[in-house]
Amino acid sequence: MRSLLPLALLLLAAGCDTETATTAVVDNAYPKDPTGSIAVYKVWWASTLFHEGVAAGESSATFRSVPTTATAYALLAPGWDPASGHPPARLVLAESKAPFTALRGRTLHIVVDDDTFRGNCNVAGRLTPDEADLIGHDIFPDDLAGRPYDPETCVLGEGPSDAGVEDAAADAGND
């Protein structure tokens, strides 16, 4: 009986061994530029929100995630320093050009730059108004607070979007 005890403990320990977690990290691949770097304010991928800013050339904290394939969405912050303690003055909505895939037990690196994301008005690959609406109203609604976003100019308006109010007023006049 004594000789079976070590074997039983070994099998029990092997059965309790947990799988290596799937994780993800944001790599800001925009270059550091003293005249105006692009920081990454936030990123949403699959079920993971990266809520802390990432300076140009830096990486975020690593977060536990899920093994899947999904598009990533980002809020870029040109000229913003994440260490400032203040929110960015300007936000640019961006979407990954291709989905990212996280493999079970591995770390996914979500590389953010103009080669992997589109939406930055300084380069080709602008978002459509529908894509900008999805990102602004469904992915990051608290950050845009209902303010209108123009994907042609990458300008975030000052007040809440009143397009719904105008539409409602036009419909009311048709009665």
How much is the pTM?
0.80
Q: What are the b/e assignments for 108-118, b being 16+ CB within 10 Å? A: bbbbbbbebbb
Tell me, letter by letter, the H, E, C secondary structure of the chain: CCCHHHHHHHHHHHHHCCCCCCEEEEEECCCCCCCCCEEEEEEEECCEEECCCECCCCECCCEECCCCEECEEEEEEECCCHHHCCCCCCCEEEEECCCEECCCCCEEEEEECCCCEECCCCCCCCCCHHHHHHHHHHHCHHHHCCCCEECCCCEECCCCCCHHHHHHHHHHCCC
**For 46, phi and psi rounded to 5 degrees?**
55, -105
Does residue 46 have a pLDDT over 70? yes
Mean pLDDT of 35-63: 95
Q: Is 152 within 8 Å of 122 (Cβ atoms)?
A: no
- The pLDDT of residue 3: 53
Does residue 173 have a pLDDT over 90? no
Residues 6+ apart with CB under 8 A from 86: none
Does residue 109 have a pLDDT over 80? yes
- The pLDDT of residue 161: 54
Mean pLDDT of 12-37: 78
What's the pLDDT tens digit per position in 51-84?
A: 999 999 999 999 999 999 999 999 999 999 999 9
Residue 160 pLDDT level (bands cut at 50, 70, 90) = low
Does residue 45 have a pLDDT over 50? yes
Cα(135)–Cα(71) distance, integer angstroms: 11
